[in-house]
Amino acid sequence: MELQRLETKEKTGLVVVITGNGKGKTTAALGLCLRAAGHGLRVCLIQFMKGDLYAGEIDGLKLLPNVEHHLTGKGFCGIRGNPYPFREHRANAQDAIGLAGDKITSGAFDIVILDEINNALKLKLVDLSQVLNLIATKPPLIHLVLTGRDAHPDVIRRAHTVTEMQEIKHAFREGIEPQKGIDY
């Protein structure tokens, strides 16, 4: 049996925010990468806070056609004994903002995902004006996805779709270590 394919009559570039204190924000964004690859769309994923620890998506994304992946961070600033000073985290995040602007306006991508940018904003590694500028200058047909806890109210107001992940229960709180393929 052949599956029916939907065709969008009028394409609109969406701003999507995935936020909240629950697990699954990056996982949801990676799911968008998988879905987009299935449609032959071109995706750029820029991870703002990640880059100091291996996660399965690093190699998994290499298997998807048309997905470009950038690890720009030095881990989570001020968390779990991260050794890098604030100024290094900020410098990396500033470089990532520049990269994001270039990728968004390049015409080379259908979707740009800025993973953990909400955290970077909350931690003052990037400025609200910079994030709002990325949204405002986004070409009309580009989808822009912003993930991470604590999405700023001004970012939420400018989004077309906002999902809040809510933690109900987490294995970590029961003393269970992060599990390969599920947590990283």
User: CATH number of the domain at 15-166, please?
Assistant: 3.40.50.300
- Short-list 27, 31, 44, CA closest to 112: 44
pTM: 0.93
pLDDT tens digit sequence for 18-45: 999 999 999 999 999 999 999 999 999 9
Rounded-to-integer distance, Cα 24 and Cα 112, Å: 18
In 9-127, which ranges are continuous DSSP H helix?
25-38, 57-60, 86-105, 117-122
The structural domains of the chain, with segments of one domain joined by +, span 15-166
Q: Which of 66, 58, 68, 64 is nearest to 26 (CA)?
A: 58
Q: Are 73 and 50 in contact (CB under 8 A)?
A: yes
**Tens of pLDDT along 48-84?**
988 888 899 999 999 999 999 999 987 777 666 777 8
